[in-house]
Amino acid sequence: MAVAALTFAAHHILHSKPKPSSSVFLLNSTTLKTTITFNNFISISSASPFFLPRHKSTQTAAVASSSSSSVLELGGVKITKQDVVKDEPTNNVPDLIFTKLGLQLHRRDHHPLGILKNAIYDYFDTNYNNQFHKFDDLCPIVTTKANFDEVLVPADHVSRSYNDTYYVDAETVLRCHTSAHQADLLRKGYSNFLVTGDVYRRDSIDSTHYPVFHQMEGVRVFTPSDWNNSGIDGTLYAAQDLKACLEGLARHLFGAVEMRWVDSYFPFTNPSFELEIYFQEKWLEVLGCGVMEQEILKRAGKTDNAAWAFGLGLERLAMVLFDIPDIRLFWSTDKRFTSQFTKGQLGIKFKPFSKYPPCYKDMSFWINDSFTENNLCEIVRGVAGDLAEEVVLIDNFTNKKGMTSHCYRITYRSMERSLTDEEINELQWNVRDQVQSQMNVELR
Ligand code: DAH
């Protein structure tokens, strides 16, 4: 899938460039932005899946039902389902996403994500004499202020849209990156820290995209005494230290690989870079990083300091390090997956236990102005859960009347068993039904 290939690199990193599917909410005027976003969202209510009664989605096959009265504890905060999934226009969190809250795969020592997190911890503990504070249990429900404003994400940035981010209400989101905790931890006085956590993004469906994934954020703050005798300024000092630190980390994880630095852009850093390594005959983007914007430090009361920050996606690295071919596997509770990994062992290669046959179903419809691929994928996931392997646009044309038709191919496949024809047909009918009624498109 061409779009997927392009967005693979972007998926775990919050870039400035809008993705094609997100452009509906890309607005230009700074002051009006937030209001317009909400107004747009509300005005398309009849076509949006999120305005329909929640019980609509309970007819779905694969979504685990979680008791609405049970209380989750996330980073010391007590949460019920009603706190997160609300039948209100400013909320777009589906049931399926709620079921992922609190699973914290990165805190399981025998899980590939936990093994990777611990290997990164080892690197920092050893090389920085245990100076880095480690957080891996901060609540993923954060304010828009923390997720966006405090890390200087512009008011018209695509990541703020309802199409890209899960909103609990107009001022509260499921964090879309671990950078959401930077400012708060700086204010609390931490100057060397790592934050690992589950992050949430509305996205397409394929082997490398899943609406919940895991990131690690690193921050290190310097004082003038650190760079005064070096003959270079704080920014350059931080940039040099950052590069040395992350090159060491990449070697710690991947061995003696070839590396390169690519200039990049992030709202929170300047200059910004990406580190790529040459691994298995391809350049692989490992992380995004840079010298922290002075404004972030200033607002945290650190006027005279300089700092670096980085953010990395644990799944993309773990897929490469453990040879895991599909991102859904991280969520598998099948013993044939879970039993293959051992605490503290980074080098283990996953042996696929079997490949069950895929089943392809095509569907065509005339789209409308509010159509987005992320909304379509949300419906497909709501119906089929992890049985949905891929959703690809395979045909696209506009007729003389100006109507645009899209044909999507949905691949259904279980990682754990063979699916029956009846089961898949029922899923597909459900998808068709919900796409038609919730997205208000005309099936062809
Ligand atoms: N927050 C970025 C993302 O979601 C990743 C990132 C890039 C974090 C650069 C950083 C950084 O701290 O300096 O993709």
Taken in order 280, 281, 287, 290, the sign of the CA dihedral is: positive
Looking at residue 50, its pLDDT comes to 31
CA distance 63 to 386: 9
Sheet holding 172-174, edge to edge: 141-143, 172-174, 167-169
Give the model confidence (pLDDT) of 304-351 as tens digits.
999 999 999 999 999 999 999 999 999 999 999 999 999 999 989 999
Looking at residue 67, its pLDDT comes to 54
Give the model confidence (pLDDT) of 136-192 as tens digits.
999 999 999 999 999 999 999 999 999 999 999 999 999 999 999 999 999 999 999
Looking at residue 72, its pLDDT comes to 93
CA distance 275 to 243: 9
The answer to whether the beta carbons of residues 210 and 7 sit under 8 Å apart is: no
- Ligand 1 center to 150 CA (angstroms): 13
Residue nearest to atom 13 of ligand 1 (CA): 289
Q: Give me the residue label for tokens 């694969």.
A: 62
CA distance 359 to 51: 31
Looking at residue 27, its pLDDT comes to 24
Give the model confidence (pLDDT) of 104-123 as tens digits.
999 999 999 999 999 999 99
Read off φ and ψ for residue 397, nearest 5 degrees.
-150, 160
What 346-350 contacts at long range (C-beta under 8 Å, 24+ apart), as own/partner pairs, is 346/115, 346/116, 346/119, 346/253, 346/321, 347/321, 348/322, 349/322, 349/323, 350/112, 350/322, 350/323, 350/324, 350/325
Looking at residue 18, its pLDDT comes to 36
Tell me which of 295-309, 329-343, 345-359, 422-436 is least confident. Answer: 345-359
Report the greatest alpha carbon distance in the chain.
Answer: 72
- Ligand 1 center to 192 CA (angstroms): 16
Quick one: what percent of the chain has pLDDT higher than 90? 83
Residue nearest to atom 6 of ligand 1 (CA): 311
Residue 3's pLDDT band, with cuts at 50, 70 and 90, is: very low
- Partners of residue 276 on adjacent β-strands: 260, 285
- Ligand 1 center to 314 CA (angstroms): 13
Choose one of 262, 266, 316 to mutate for the ligand 1 pocket test, by most ligand atoms within 8 angstroms of C-beta: 266
> In degrees to the nearest 10, what's the CA dihedral of 256, 257, 261, 264?
-120
Quick one: what percent of the chain has pLDDT higher than 70? 84
At residue 26, does pLDDT exceed 80? no
pLDDT mean over 288-299: 98
Cβ-count burial 217-252 (b if 16+ within 10 Å, e if not): bbbbbbeeebbeeeeeebbebbbebbbebbeebbeb
pLDDT mean over 292-297: 98
Give the model confidence (pLDDT) of 259-285 as tens digits.
999 999 999 999 999 999 998 889 999
pLDDT mean over 413-431: 97
Looking at residue 39, its pLDDT comes to 30
Highest-confidence range of 1-15, 127-141, 346-360, by mean pLDDT? Answer: 127-141
Looking at residue 355, its pLDDT comes to 87
CA distance 149 to 140: 16
Q: What is the mean pLDDT of the chain?
A: 87
Looking at residue 52, its pLDDT comes to 31
pTM over 0.85: yes
Choose one of 310, 312, 314 to mutate for the ligand 1 pocket test, by most ligand atoms within 8 angstroms of C-beta: 310
Q: 181, 163, 208, 171: which is closest to 40 by C-alpha?
A: 163
The answer to whether the beta carbons of residues 199 and 140 sit under 8 Å apart is: yes
The answer to whether the beta carbons of residues 265 and 241 sit under 8 Å apart is: no
Query: E strands, 68-140, where?
Result: 71-74, 77-80, 133-135
- Could you tell me if the CB of 14 is within 6 A of ligand 1? yes
- How many Cβ atoms are within 10 Å of 39's Cβ, its own excluded? 11
Looking at residue 14, its pLDDT comes to 62
Looking at residue 70, its pLDDT comes to 86
Q: Which helix (H) or strand (E) holds 383?
A: helix 373-384
CA distance 219 to 51: 39
- Ligand 1 center to 312 CA (angstroms): 7
CA distance 198 to 220: 21
Give the model confidence (pLDDT) of 44-96 as tens digits.
222 333 333 333 343 344 444 455 568 999 999 999 999 999 999 999 999 99
pLDDT mean over 366-370: 95
Looking at residue 68, its pLDDT comes to 55
- Ligand 1 center to 269 CA (angstroms): 9
- Classify strands 192-200 and 133-135 as parallel, antiparallel or unpaired: parallel
CA angle 403, 409, 410 (to 5 degrees): 125
Give the model confidence (pLDDT) of 203-228 as tens digits.
999 999 999 999 999 999 999 999 99
The answer to whether the beta carbons of residues 320 and 349 sit under 8 Å apart is: no
The answer to whether the beta carbons of residues 361 and 440 sit under 8 Å apart is: no
Q: Give me the residue label for tokens 């200087």.
A: 152
Looking at residue 279, its pLDDT comes to 87
Distances (CA, A) of 428 to 57, 61, 422: 14, 11, 10
- Ligand 1 center to 13 CA (angstroms): 6
> In degrees to the nearest 10, what's the CA dihedral of 254, 256, 258, 261?
70
CA distance 175 to 352: 32
Tally of residues, the chain: 444
Looking at residue 354, its pLDDT comes to 85
